[in-house]
Structure 1
Amino acid sequence: MPDSTQAPTQFNQLPRAGVLPRLMALIYDALIIAGLWMVYGFLAMLIASTFGGLHCQPENVDYTPCVGGPLYQLGLVLVTAGYFFWSWRAAGQTIGMRAWRLMVANNNGMQLSWYQCFLRALVGPVSLGFFCLGFLWGYFRVDRATWHDLVSDSEVRQLPKKKKDKKLG
């Protein structure tokens, strides 16, 4: 992760990530988020049924009273945003970005601020939601910047492949 001990020029010398690897990394992250949502849903149902006195009706396959309200949906948003915020701030990479050797940092090659993470998380779904126009925008720019890159003053770079050690003998 680019930090104050690593020269920002090292990050800036890496090639900019293309749109396709970024979308593929997002698919990986969607699988992780689906797992986090399942854990959150289990905990929400457990808490709601224990303390809330809600009466779910599994025989009718109706769990709406337990996990259908705006508070539950706000929790889903917070779980999703938390995953991205923590990943971007801790290592500059989500799990999907690690698999595709991508790293995000600000335009100076330094770790994203909380505000930049917030902007990326806010505009990212908009980039994806309008028929991926925010992502496809990167195809038409020399710097491959997407809408959420531009708004958050950040960029995604492609990390080099690790060299395999050759064992003798």
Structure 2
Amino acid sequence: MSTSNTPTSFSQLPVAGVGRRLAALVYDALIIMGLLMVYGFVAMLAASAVVGLNCQPDQMDYNPCVSGPLFQLGAVAVIAGYFVWSWRAAGQTIGMRAWRLLLANPEGVQLSWRQCALRALTAPVSLACLGLGYFWAWTRADRASWHDLASDSEVRLLPKKK
């Protein structure tokens, strides 16, 4: 049952604003913190099983246990994996779901793995430049951020469920 006010296609949904997108990112940051805790625990277990832990808890020095390029690369992979998997599987992260945001290409089709990877590479740059990549959306009629432009994607606001 569709009324005349109900959007029938992705292109008819309103474009998501910067505030909503940043709020969803805060929700996702909470999820990421939990994932990184699990990753750190698993990484410490693996390190202790393979090479033994060289931590010095009496000196409060845990760097040998949870530092180094391999550990950091794994942390980046966990973060990127969360976003890429969520975008590819459902077009939404948990934070986007909470704020009723949907990610797709301009035709409303699910993003490809390549588009998700481009978005995951560009979004941190958007944030690292003091959020300029996000706030760029205010200067454009289509409200596209840097990572939207790089990945040829759009974030739309879903209607409230009745």
Q: Secondary structure at the match of 2:64?
A: helix
Q: Secondary structure at the match of 1:65?
A: coil
Q: Secondary structure at the match of 1:127?
A: helix
Q: Which residue of 1 aligns with 2:33?
A: 34
1:47-86 counterparts in 2 under 5 A?
A: 47-86=46-85
1:3-152 counterparts in 2 under 5 A?
A: 10-152=9-151
Q: Which residue of 2 aligns with 1:4?
A: none
TM-score by length of 2: 0.93
Q: Which runs of 4+ in 1 moved over 4 A?
A: none
- Give distance in 1, aligned partners of 2:141 and 2:58: 56
5+ unaligned residues in a row in structure 1: which ranges?
1-8, 164-169
Per the TM alignment, residue 59 of structure 1 is displaced from its structure 2 partner at its CA by: 2.0
Equivalences, count:
155
CA deviation vs aligned residue, 1:43-79 (integer Å, no higher than 9, x gap): 1011101211231112222111111010000000100
- Give distance in 1, aligned partners of 2:38 and 2:143: 35
- Give distance in 2, aligned partners of 1:158 and 1:95: 14
TM-score by length of 1: 0.90
Q: Secondary structure at the match of 1:104?
A: strand
- Give distance in 2, aligned partners of 1:114 and 1:91: 12
- Give distance in 1, aligned partners of 2:109 and 2:98: 21
- Give distance in 1, aligned partners of 2:27 and 2:100: 12
Q: Secondary structure at the match of 2:149?
A: helix
- Give distance in 1, aligned partners of 2:39 and 2:60: 19
Q: Secondary structure at the match of 2:107?
A: coil
Q: Secondary structure at the match of 1:67?
A: coil
The amino acid of 2:102's aligned partner reads M
- Give distance in 1, aligned partners of 2:103 and 2:153: 7
Q: Secondary structure at the match of 2:156?
A: strand
